[in-house]
Amino acid sequence: MSVWVVRADGSSPKQLTSNALDVEPVFPPDGSQIAFGCITGDSPEGPLEAIYVINSDGTGLHQVVPPRAGLEHPGWSPDGRSVTFNIEPENAKAPDYGSILSVQPDGTGLRVIQPRTPDLKFFKAVWSPDGRKLLSGCFDTQAKIDKICMVSPGRRLTAVVSGPPGVNFPSWGPDE
């Protein structure tokens, strides 16, 4: 799998990468770059995935997060200043499993923006259009169900949807 760009009318397809397993490409709001995962191999803890950023014209490919087990779901902050991702909740050998992290597009500033809690493990986080909150899948370790949580980094955490099974694809509407 590789990353391609194509015009909305289907014309001018252009292959940007030629790695074996490039996955989940996402544009920042200004469309200038693409962040994506690259599955680089296997480990006893699962597939190794890195995050790369490339300019939307195919230049400037660079790694922003080195390969590690459990890394998944890259996404951009609304201001394009950071790439968010999570470490899969099932990967208990990673110290930050079940947490939401971010890194700047040049690979600096790696930080945990929402650590897992004793009761919740996070995945598939998406920013609100104003950049103040995140919606995230969150696995409730006590009830053993997936929920959707609203996260205000550094402040408040609220479960907004509980169950049914498979509830884990959050998205903000345009007026949120």
103's enclosing H/E stretch is strand 100-103
**What whole-number distance in Å separates Cα of residue 73 and Cα of residue 134?**
14
pLDDT at 90: 75
**What whole-number distance in Å separates Cα of residue 59 and Cα of residue 17?**
10
- 110 class by beta-carbon count within 10 Å (0-12 exposed, 13-18 middle, 19+ buried): middle
- Tokens at residue 115, please? 């650590």
Exposure b/e, 22-51, CB count within 10 A at least 16 = b: bbbbbebeeeebbbbbbbbeeeebbbbbbb
Residue with the larger pLDDT of the pair 19 and 144: 144
**What whole-number distance in Å separates Cα of residue 78 and Cα of residue 67?**
25
Q: What is the pLDDT of residues 125-169, one digit of tens each?
A: 999 998 889 999 888 888 888 889 898 876 777 888 776 666 667
Indicate the pTM of the whole model.
0.87
Which residue, among 128, 127, 132, 125, has the nearest Cα to 175 in the 3D structure?
A: 128
Q: What is the pLDDT of residues 144-154, one digit of tens each?
A: 888 898 988 76
